Amino acid sequence: MGILEVQNVNKRFGGLQALDNVNLDVEEGSIHAIIGPNGAGKSTLLNCFVGRLVPDTGTVMFNGNSLLGIKPHEINQLGVSRVFQTPEIFTDLSVLENVMIATFAHRDGAFKLNAIDPVRKEVDIRDHAEATLLDVGLQDKRNMVASSMSRGDKRRLEMAMCLSQDPKLLLLDEPTAGMARADTNRTIDLLKELAEKRKLTKVIIEHDMHVVFSLAQKISVLAQGHVIVEDTPENIKGHPKVREAYLGE
């Protein structure tokens, strides 16, 4: 049993079958990549894991809990965080403030229950946010206004916002999209480091094969809403169906 188990998921938008009987089995602690051409349904699938979309049929189980029919913040409380395709950060706030807000949003429920002293709470959240910035290498930029950061650093900040919530499962939708090669390589290194430091499962949607083959232990190939193959990078590379559907050969 994987930490994330997706079975027979279907999603239709009007006349378009965006997801067609999708199955996915993500092993705990692994990096699982989802690849496929534009419009294959990759983002739609991720949206079904975070409560932004509800599949028409099928099941999505995370750590023994169904993720269907519960609200996005409840899914987040269960330990699922997501890096979006376009960074969702508070551009007028500082880097540190952004991470503090993400930490606070995740912890709010727990804090209310414990009725912790608000001053201690802020110190606690600040310490935790600072530690997370250190983890992603943004500690020197913590007082910068988020809008003035480079594209790569904004992505890194978004990653810090997710990590500050101590997730069990991190979902990344094209984390290197629009990045120059140097930033892409820094992101690969960061994800590798995180894999060593934290017991964290990652599902990554990625179009850059260099990134996919550097990171993933398992790859699912999606084409026209259907998983045509799920296998190791070695087996995916030479797979005729993949070359046909994805590489256009």
Closer to Mg ion by CB, 43 or 201: give it.
43
Handedness of CA 248, 218, 64, 75 (dihedral sign): negative
Contact between 82 and ligand ADP by CB under 6 A: the answer reads: no
Whether residue 68 contacts residue 7, with contact meaning beta carbons closer than 8 Å, is answered with no
Question: Contact between 107 and ligand ADP (CB under 6 A)?
Answer: no
* 143 sits near ligand ADP (criterion: CB under 6 A): no
Backbone angles phi, psi at 162, to 5 degrees: -65, -45
- Residue 18, interface with ligand ADP (CB under 6 A)? yes
In the complex, least distance from residue 102 CB atom to ligand ADP, rounded to whole angstroms:
24
41, 51, 55, 79: residue in contact with ligand ADP (rule CB under 6 A): 41
Q: Tokens standing for 137?
A: 């290498």
Residues 107-166 that bind Mg ion (CB under 5 A): none
Among 31, 40, 99, 125, binds ligand ADP (CB under 6 A): 40
CB 249, min distance to Mg ion, A: 23
Query: Contact with ligand ADP (CB under 6 A): which of 8, 16, 73, 189?
Result: 16
Smallest distance from the beta carbon of 67 to Mg ion, in angstroms? 19
Q: CA 142: distance to chain centroid?
A: 22
Phi, psi of 10 (to 5 degrees): -120, 140
Q: Does 54 help bind ligand ADP (rule: CB under 6 A)?
A: no
DSSP 20-65: EEEEEEEPTT-EEEEE--TTSSHHHHHHHHTTSS--SEEEEEETTE
CA-to-CA distance for 41 and 11, rounded, in angstroms? 9
User: Is residue 167 involved in binding ligand ADP (CB under 6 A)?
Assistant: no
**Stretch binding Mg ion (CB under 5 A), from 39-47, 124-132, 179-187, 212-220:** 39-47
Let me know: does 164 contact 83? Beta carbons within 8 Å. Answer: no
Question: Which chain residues interact with ligand ADP by CB under 6 A?
Answer: 13, 16, 18, 36, 38-44
